[in-house]
């Protein structure tokens, strides 16, 4: 498969990029405003993302075939205030994507956001996004996918929006077989440092409220709004702004940095050199790489049926 070119907007630590590189793509431009995410990105990809996308002219971005954008989701999340497009600092960043798509007219794009985007403001927010993308001439496909269905022990539901200039035949990927999915035992580290273990009073409080005290280990639990502790053979969704003890393994310890990266499907050689809180924030803001890779495979398959631009060979 020949290389295709893509850009990585709101790139975070590069989850979308890794998914598309796995199917032969070449990233030619990235943008991220968070300094610490840029530090991690640069350490792993050897290049520092451009800064604030609102200050970058579309004409200064090299030509590309696919736009990737995990645009900021806090304004649409159930957890947040759900301000949507009224949030001037987060919600309207979608229009930066629209601006670049309008100028560059790439063959396709893939956007990622929280599940709640679909229902936010009684569906009005998603309708605005959908209509703006349609007006640019794109055929739009959207679906909520769960990381649990693509091999990871993390229940993480996110909406993906794929668009194509041509009316190609595209379907989102189907879940993989359960026997091919990783379990908690596959991703948990052995001989974990004592610094990850919670205080005895926290552990005892959690265990006292555990719904099923005979639940088999290993498990991961989190505390719901009512204060109940429910064990699962998988993690709930990693969250950037969650409390330090949002999820606990066996109600004894926090996940290590490497375990959080594994829950998102990052490779073992992915480098981390920041404090625990920063890594937790970055993993919570990132995407599940196996989900992105599966979507990328289907997008490339769909795009093989036509030539992307003049003098550009089929993949």
Q: How far apart are CA 53 and CA 58, in angstroms?
A: 9
Concatenating the DSSP letter of every residue in 130-182 gives HHHHHHTT-EEEEEEEEGGGGT-SEE-EEEEEEEESS-----PPPPPPGGGS-
Are the C-beta atoms of 254 and 198 separated by less than 8 Å?
yes
| 27 part of the active site | no
Closest to 94 (Cα-Cα) out of 123, 69, 119: 69
Q: Which helix (H) or strand (E) holds 300?
A: helix 289-303
At residue 301, the 3 state secondary structure works out as: helix
∠ Cα 74 84 90 (to 5°): 50
CA angle centred on 176, ends 153 and 283, rounded to 5°: 35
The upper half-sphere exposure of residue 199, i.e. CA atoms within 13 Å in the direction of its Cβ, equals 4
Q: Are 258 and 276 in contact (CB under 8 A)?
A: no
The angle that helices 94-104 and 124-135 make with each other, rounded to 10 degrees, is 10
Q: Are 97 and 125 in contact (CB under 8 A)?
A: no
Q: Is 283 helix (H, G, I), strand (E, B) or coil?
A: helix
- The verdict on whether omega for the bond into residue 218 sits within 30 degrees of 0, i.e. cis, is yes
Name every residue whose Cβ is closer than 8 Å to that of residue 47 and which is 6 or more positions away in sequence: 30, 41
Active-site residue (options: 11, 27, 73, 283): 73
Strands (E), 78-138: 108-114
Which residues are tagged catalytic?
A: 73
């Amino acid at each position: 498969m020949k290389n295709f070119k893509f850009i990585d907007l709101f790139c975070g630590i590069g989850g979308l990029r890794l998914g598309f590189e796995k199917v032969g793509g070449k990233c030619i431009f990235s943008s991220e405003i968070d300094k610490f995410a840029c530090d991690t990105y640069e350490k792993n990809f050897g290049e520092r993302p451009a800064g604030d996308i609102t200050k970058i002219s579309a004409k200064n971005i090299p030509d590309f075939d696919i736009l990737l954008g995990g645009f900021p989701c806090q304004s649409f999340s159930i957890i947040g205030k759900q301000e949507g497009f009224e949030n001037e600092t987060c919600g309207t960043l979608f229009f930066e994507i629209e601006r670049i798509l309008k100028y560059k007219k790439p063959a396709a794009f893939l956007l990622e956001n929280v599940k709640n985007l679909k229902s936010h403001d009684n569906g009005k927010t998603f309708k605005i996004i959908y209509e703006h993308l349609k007006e640019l001439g794109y055929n739009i496909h959207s679906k909520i996918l769960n990381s649990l269905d693509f091999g990871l022990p993390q229940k993480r539901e996110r909406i993906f929006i794929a668009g194509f200039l041509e009316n190609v035949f595209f379907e989102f990927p189907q879940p993989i077989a359960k026997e091919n999915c990783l379990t908690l035992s596959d991703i948990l580290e052995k001989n974990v440092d004592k610094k990850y273990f919670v205080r005895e009073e926290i552990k005892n409080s959690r265990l006292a409220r555990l719904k099923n005290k005979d639940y088999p280990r290993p498990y991961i639990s989190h505390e719901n709004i009512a204060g109940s502790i429910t064990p699962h053979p998988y993690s709930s969704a990693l969250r950037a702004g969650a409390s330090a003890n949002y999820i606990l393994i066996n109600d004894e310890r926090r996940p290590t940095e490497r375990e959080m990266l594994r829950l998102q499907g990052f490779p073992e050689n992915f480098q981390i050199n920041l404090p625990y809180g920063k890594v937790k924030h970055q993993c919570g803001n990132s995407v599940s790489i196996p989900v992105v890779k599966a979507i990328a495979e289907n997008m490339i398959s769909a795009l093989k049926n036509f030539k992307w631009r003049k003098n550009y060979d089929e993949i």
